[in-house]
Structure 1
């Protein structure tokens, strides 16, 4: 079977890796590099080289079984996994006292950890309710605004606290957070009495990208070659790339941003429902900068955390500190709306974050549904209400199961995962 994949992010690469042993695969990627929202930068720290991620930076391995299995299968060693706690502080600009300080480890006594009061109770309630929404399968249509308006929140500061993290994550305003799906937003909240754990890759997430790409051979991975149009050709399809070349395929798998997929399907008959769904996915651009100086960090070093979020008006932006994970004073800061700049930028990159509105969540469910005999399929963030590497890889596994349920790598995953 000839499979055409458009998009060389984690979802598209995972699908190419799963299928390449048993099918003829061609993957088109518009950019000159693979990885999508993965971008690692090699820099010097404490006299030695250090890989820092500007895009996707961490993965909670304990709740990422697909990622864990596939990463190991493509050569990411256990020694490359850096387990750390995901401590966090949230503060409002020009205020010395933070809105929220989490524990950095289970025996943390040095930090002024938030252990009670209105902020603690609000965070605890949102985390508890989020767990219930997931267990009970609450509708994605209920918005954050619906939830917050039904609670007797004591102050604007508490509302800022609850909206700060999703606003930073999705690159939107705290006011726009109210229009997002509460269930989707809730997946980012953890109970305040726990210390969440996460995992960094010592060699950067690009090492996972390189492992997938190397393992996908003999698939043809065409960089700098975007998809321009999908056409029907008899029982199959033709993919027209940005250079005008035509690739005949039996199956098309789109792992593209929604607007790019929409453009590629603009002339395809019978794709009206897919085009309508793709129009519902919105984006915000977010810029990240790598730097040495503690720009974006709290004045009080005792509150420095892995994630440091500052609320300024209706915006919130985060600085990630690599001290807890890699033991180095390197920082990655969001830099779209803040005043001032780091003293020296070591690297910068921009990415597009999706807004999980109820409309987008419904659209993603429609795009991710796979029907018997379907040969034009979607995967990646256009099919998952929550945008993580785990969800992207899981969407690729679902497509592979549909196309080649007896594939060796798929069987290995299903038997070992």
Structure 2
């Protein structure tokens, strides 16, 4: 990745916009990001893979969700046309969430590969009859969540909306085509009705009550559990092999009154982390990504009319609210403080990884790690990736 000035980025974008109608000279910067205040290139139009910026994403978003791999589109010509669609989609609304852009791309891949299977090699060959066949195809698909059942109207609408997106963004190009369904729309064809209730169901009281009680019980044992973890971390091991070390740690824990073994302690610590998440979610009503954005010491309290009130700070990306705070009970702050202590070892690892990324000039990794730094929900990814992430 290379550093670049804002002026160069804007000049490339303008040149690409002017070149898209003719389809010639399509070279230049498409996406950028910032690390340590420096703007750098993420993707160029001619790249087979485009990366969407990490900045502004929920910290829980995995990197693969920022990847647009055009090689997934089997037909070379359709692949070329898809780049024009995605470039204009990205430029048209810079506030679109990365997950939304990524989702649109996934639907686009499905639509274009279906066209390829029909023997169609360019979107210029799409007619209302072809579009109608795609509607029939989507209506015949079954839901992976409801075995044998049809796709939900919302899912159908998303699959069909991408056809309209192609039509809209290619009108002034040689690959433009007539409106796919004159006097109709994707939403109407999918029989999508306006939502009348929230999509997320409320957790039933008979489920939430025992879950919260268990979380409170775990929180009350936080000092004991974290004390044992820290003591094991400071203990000087004699064995070199993993099996011997686990047994040695278990014997050491027994001298501290923990008879369940090292594996059970790790399980209890994971349950403690999850219990803290449950307490914060249940007492504040924040969204999962807002929970992932909570950072160390991002809380405060005020005394009003002799009573103390607590406020938990975070960043809301979905609502575009940005930095904001939620009124919460004291137990939520206790849970945050526990998460701070739980994540201390991983925060140290993160700082070491960040120093290395800066030293080798890996700007993309610097941005990712800076987004994760100081978050109380730090966790480890799959051992093979050896990455630190925010909980998901």
Q: Report the TM-score, using the length of structure 1 for normalisation.
A: 0.21
Q: Which has the higher relative contact order, 1 or 2, with Cα contacts under 8 A spaced 6 or more apart?
A: 1
Structure with the bigger percentage of helix: 2
Structure with the bigger percentage of strand: 1
Q: Report the TM-score, using the length of structure 2 for normalisation.
A: 0.22
Structure having the higher Rg: 2
